[in-house]
Amino acid sequence: MRLLLTALTVFAFVPCLAYGQWHPEKPAQYHELPPLREQARLFNEWKDERIARIPALLKKYDIDAWLLSMREHNEDPLWWSLKNATQFAPHRRTVLLFHTNTSSLAGHPNPLVWVDNTGAVWDELRWILVQYAPQRIALNTDRHIAFGGGLAVGEWMELYEQLPQEWMKAVNQPMLAVEYIAARVPGQLSYYRKMQETVWAMIQEAFSARVIEPNITTTVDVEWWFREKIQTQNFSTWVHPRVSVITPQSFPGWAGTEDIIQEGDLLHVDFGVTAMSMNTDTQHMAYVLRTSEGESDAPEGHKEGIKKANRMQDIVLSQMQAGKTGNAVLQASLRQMKAENISGQIYCHPIGDYAHAPGAVMGFTNLPEYVPVLGELPILPNTWYSIELYAYHLVPERNETLRFRLEETVHWVDDQVGWKFVHGRQEALHLIDWQVPSSDGDFFVQS
């Protein structure tokens, strides 16, 4: 058994607040990720800065110590936001004890970490707790919030047998995990912005003549093009891309449609990538021009649908104030939509270490007006959110009401500015003009 007493280093970062807007005349660019060794260095810096905030977080919730215990292959979800870059599993039994840097533990590493498969950890943990004498110990035992409920039943039983009963009258405070994982550090934003622009560049290329030829290319073909492209960019896929031809009936949820793409189709993609332990989640729409008929722009009804979805984004962001619950934001947004005669659905969520990260949600597709538990959590500053929604719009050219589905990520700036889009938002359809050659003989990508 080994007690790891490596001190934590705290790094300061300067916030990066540049704000990307929609620039149709300036297509998004692909960005290369740093070498793996540099990614690991950055990851560890960000992790150290985040962990250094935990003592203040414990004091906020009047907690003296936070105890995590897990086994290899059965890790607490919090582990992935605490580990070093070169760790890929919590080996043997891993026990972590966070404290408030007070009393007898002042000056000790935070957390104290044990890696053990002999049971010797318990003698040392008991000795530490006797010296520290915490009054309120938090365990991750929440029944409703996954990120606050990562203590396995077997680990709880082991703790119950090994620790004095007064310490097992533990506090369930899931907001410790929620706030720790959700909060971003400034150094992450510049890299996340490059990730998001790369996602836009993928979408621009996918929704172009480079990839799509009407009457031949299928939506499934485009999905697998995304998967291959994600791989070439050294990203991983957090969810399989879902590419759909939009019809009044199409709202496929966890799958795209299986269609041969035709001229005049309205297309949609929903996908996310993972890199540097950060996730994206993006939805854009495209229109396949009727090039054979001389069409050079999307129908006005399609353009108005995008504008209506953009207005819904504005409404949600105007209501997203730190401290308000997700349900309060959702219901205020729905009232404003009704006042403006806009129909649609909102289902926004936090994003960061996880694509569906901990924190307040604003609607689910199956819970459009009120979400128990997660909807009652407060909106947190210093976080990122996916603004995910759709607007219903009657398209006169088709005499059909369609869903215009958009999703973009926003980041918190400060109390004065509030939220801003990481790389802008889609304000015009990607246009697929499959018969327009570029000067070098290849097809010109219109976006």
Domains of the chain: 54-180 (3.40.350), 186-432 (3.90.230.10)
Torsions phi, psi of 23, nearest 5? -130, 85
pLDDT at 167: 77
Is residue 446 scored above 50 in pLDDT?
no
Task: State the number of CA atoms in the 13 A half-sphere of 260 facing the CB.
Answer: 3
What pTM, to 2 d.p., does this model score? 0.89
Query: 444: which DSSP letter?
Result: P
Q: Residue 55 CB: number of other CB atoms within 10 A?
A: 17
Buried b / exposed e over 314-350, threshold 16 CB at 10 Å, is ebbbebbbeebbbbbbbbbbbebbeeeebebbbbbbb
Q: Is the model's pLDDT at 26 over the cut of 90? A: no
Picking from 84-93, 248-257, 264-273, 313-322, which range would have the lowest pLDDT averaged per residue? 248-257
pLDDT over 50 (residue 443) = no
Reference 405, options 299, 288, 251; nearest CA is: 251
Across 83-94, average pLDDT? 93
pLDDT of 435 over the 90 cut: no
Total residue length of the chain: 447
pLDDT in tens, 216-228: 999 999 999 999 9
Which pLDDT score is estimated for 211?
Answer: 97
| pLDDT grade for 17, boundaries at 50, 70 and 90 | very low
**Crossing angle for the helix pair 153-162 and 121-132, to the nearest 10 degrees:** 70
Whether residue 266 is predicted with pLDDT greater than 80 in this model: the reply is yes
Q: Average the pLDDT over 3-26 and give the result.
A: 36
Q: For residues 24 and 284, is the Cβ–Cβ distance under 8 A?
A: no
- Phi, psi dihedral angles at 101 (to 5 degrees): 60, 30
The overall average pLDDT reported for the chain is 90
Which has the higher per-residue pLDDT, 9 or 352?
Answer: 352
Burial (CB < 10 A; 0-12, 13-18, 19+), residue 25, is: exposed
> Considering all CA atoms of the chain, what is the largest pairwise distance in Å, rounded to the nearest integer?
81
Structure confidence by residue, pLDDT tens digits, 149-174: 999 999 999 999 998 887 777 899 99
User: E strands of 85-200, at which residues?
Assistant: 93-99, 112-116, 137-139
Q: What is the DSSP string of 172-227?
A: --THHHHHHHH---THHHHHHHHHHHHHHHHHHHHTSTTT--TTT-BHHHHHHHHH
On the question of pLDDT at 252 being above 70, the answer is no
Query: How far is the C-alpha of 154 from the C-alpha of 152, rounded, in Å?
Result: 5
Tokens 């007898």 sit on residue: 104
Quick check: 301 pLDDT over 70?
Answer: yes
Three-class secondary structure of residue 29 per DSSP: coil
Q: Measured at the alpha carbon of residue 103, what is the angle toward residues 101 and 94, in degrees to the nearest 5?
A: 55
Rg (CA), the chain: 24
Which pLDDT belongs to residue 25? 53
Residue 58 scores a pLDDT above 60: yes
Q: Which residue has the higher pLDDT, 24 or 347?
A: 347
| Euclidean distance between CA atoms 386 and 352, whole angstroms | 10
Residue 94 has pLDDT above 80, yes or no: yes
Give strand pairing partners of 421.
410
Q: What CA–CA distances, in Å, run from 304 to 182, 297, 395, 428?
A: 35, 13, 8, 10
Residue 256 CA to residue 241 CA, distance in Å, equals 8
**Strand, helix or coil for residue 405:** strand
Separation of CA 118 from chain center: 38
Residue 33 tokens read as: 């990720």
d(CA 317, CA 410): 9
Backbone angles phi, psi at 146, to 5 degrees: -55, -40
